[in-house]
Amino acid sequence: MKIEAIDLYAISQPLIRTFVTSFGPQRERDCLLVAIHSEGLTGWGECVATNDPGYSYETAKTAWHILSDFLIPAILGEDLQEAEQLADWFRFVRGHPLAKAALDQAAWDLTAQRDGVSFAQKLASPYAEGPRSRVKVGVSIGIQPTMDETLYLIQEHVEKGYGRIKLKIKPGHDIELARTVRAAFPELVFMLDANSAYTLNDVAVLRAMDEYDLLMLEQPLGYDDIFEHSKLRPQITTPLCLDESIKSADQARFAVEIEACDIINIKPTRVSGWTEARLVHDIGREAGIGLWVGGMLETGVGRAAQLALASLPGFTLPGDISATERYYDPDITAPFVLNSEDSTIDVPTGPGLGVEIDMARLAGVMSRRTSFT
């Protein structure tokens, strides 16, 4: 398929609720969308780089620069057979996984449409099991101004049917939170995400978490670290999960080899896309690592592709793929809704991503658009 044209959009949508993590608040969600055109088909991808460089060094603005000046010119006019080719085409750009992942997602969507299969079917084709039809999900709740609001939000989401709750922590907002939540909800399946806010000097705090029967503790130490996580792991009984520091299949291999984690949160965007995410899945599955699909406050475009990844057989834990109405109302696609009876979301079955973009809504939230031909 000759890559005939690519559109790049910058959009900005208000979040229904400000999302606060240890690296700060997000009120407006800026992100980019890419559309690859070929043979009358259009493949869509979302770039989830955030407004600020708190989660990673990439921002929506650096991603615009890398996409428009390097990645898009490198693939325009090329003959795309399979999305796996992109890794070679992009090798000349160091880093910038979130920018690369947008085009990777669009290439998977486009080639799945060409093949007349869903993104999930195409991604799951190497596995005898095939894709799951619905995937287990949980919800990620940002840091709230008061403990009462935290408890209220947990209650609200449990009532909606979410079977797993993730809470954000930061120094000074940790042990008391875990203690209070466990006391209020003795049976709750919950976990904590520190987004790299601690150091090995805080082992006493992290060890105190062992009391509260957490599903896991996510990325307590450095955002690029696996070495110190491997030092921490034998000192706590809570299962240790890595997010930020696994940016490639190689880093997943290294983490497994030095026993730095029990669990990996695979965000396809953080590892440059779905091809690499599937490799991380295979490495983790082979090593008996717990796996789940992480989120970055995606719109319906990104959610559809997260669901496709989560349909692979090695995912053992609920993903951060909550219903889109939690973040955007209306969204730029039809909403994804929770199956409240089993805390799942259905994997789209239509060709490619299986979602339709509301172009009028997109025009309403768009701040910038460039077409490359």
Catalytic residue list: 168, 267
Q: Which stretch binds ligand OSB (CB under 6 A): 230-238, 281-289, 292-300, 362-370?
A: 292-300
296 contacts ligand OSB (rule: CB under 6 A): yes
* E strands present in the chain: 5-21, 24-38, 41-47, 134-136, 139-141, 165-168, 190-193, 217-218, 240-242, 263-266, 290-293, 344-346, 366-372
In the numeric block, the tokens 């995606």 are attached to 298
Q: Classify 253 as helix, strand or coil.
A: helix
Residue 104, contacted partner among Mg ion, ligand OSB, none, CB below 5-8 A by kind: none
30 contacts ligand OSB (rule: CB under 6 A): no
331 contacts Mg ion (rule: CB under 5 A): no
User: Taking the complex as a whole, how short is the minimal distance between the CB of residue 347 and ligand OSB, in angstroms?
Assistant: 17
Is the sign of the CA dihedral 163, 168, 171, 177 positive or negative? Answer: negative
User: Taking the complex as a whole, how short is the minimal distance between the CB of residue 53 and ligand OSB, in angstroms?
Assistant: 12
298 contacts Mg ion (rule: CB under 5 A): no
Number of residues engaging Mg ion in binding (CB under 5 A):
3
Out of 297, 332, 338, 355, name the contact with ligand OSB by CB under 6 A. 297
**Structure-block tokens of residue 148:** 């009462």
Cα gap 196→266, rounded to integer Å: 16
Q: Which stretch binds ligand OSB (CB under 6 A): 289-297, 308-316, 339-347, 362-370?
A: 289-297
Alpha-carbon separation of residue 107 from 6, 53, 275 (angstroms)? 11, 26, 10
* CB 65 within 8 Å of CB 370: no
Q: Classify 41 as helix, strand or coil.
A: strand
* CB 197 within 8 Å of CB 21: no
Out of 131, 295, 300, 352, name the contact with ligand OSB by CB under 6 A. 295
Q: Which stretch binds ligand OSB (CB under 6 A): 77-85, 113-121, 204-212, 290-298?
A: 290-298
Binding flags for ligand OSB, 188-207, as an x/- string (CB under 6 A) = -----x-x------------
Residues in the chain: 373
User: Taking the complex as a whole, how short is the minimal distance between the CB of residue 319 and ligand OSB, in angstroms?
Assistant: 9
User: Taking the complex as a whole, how short is the minimal distance between the CB of residue 99 and ligand OSB, in angstroms?
Assistant: 16
Out of 58, 109, 225, 320, name the contact with ligand OSB by CB under 6 A. 320
236 burial via Cβ count (<10 Å: 0-12, 13-18, 19+): middle
Q: Measured in whole angstroms, how far is the alpha carbon of residue 16 from the centre of its chain?
A: 19
User: Taking the complex as a whole, how short is the minimal distance between the CB of residue 80 and ligand OSB, in angstroms?
Assistant: 29
Q: For 213-225, b where at least 16 C-beta lie within 10 A, e where not — what string?
A: ebbbbbbbbbbeb
Binding flags for ligand OSB, 233-252, as an x/- string (CB under 6 A) = ----------x---------
Please say which residue, 13 or 196, places its beta carbon nearer to Mg ion: 196
Out of 193, 225, 276, 298, name the contact with Mg ion by CB under 5 A. 193
CA dihedral 8, 14, 18, 23 (to 10 degrees): 20
Please say which residue, 45 or 295, places its beta carbon nearer to Mg ion: 295
Strand-pair category, 41-47 with 24-38: antiparallel
Binding flags for ligand OSB, 135-154, as an x/- string (CB under 6 A) = -----x--------------
User: Taking the complex as a whole, how short is the minimal distance between the CB of residue 322 and ligand OSB, in angstroms?
Assistant: 5
List Cβ neighbours of 212 (8 Å cut-off, separation of 6 or more). 178, 179, 181, 182
Binding flags for Mg ion, 219-258, as an x/- string (CB under 5 A) = ------------------------x---------------
Out of 9, 22, 35, 55, name the contact with ligand OSB by CB under 6 A. 55
Residue ranges of alpha helices (H) inside 84-212 are 86-89, 97-115, 119-123, 147-160, 175-184, 203-208
User: Taking the complex as a whole, how short is the minimal distance between the CB of residue 327 and ligand OSB, in angstroms?
Assistant: 7
- Footprint on this chain of ligand OSB (rule: CB under 6 A): 55, 140, 193, 195, 243, 294-297, 320, 322
- Footprint on this chain of Mg ion (rule: CB under 5 A): 193, 218, 243
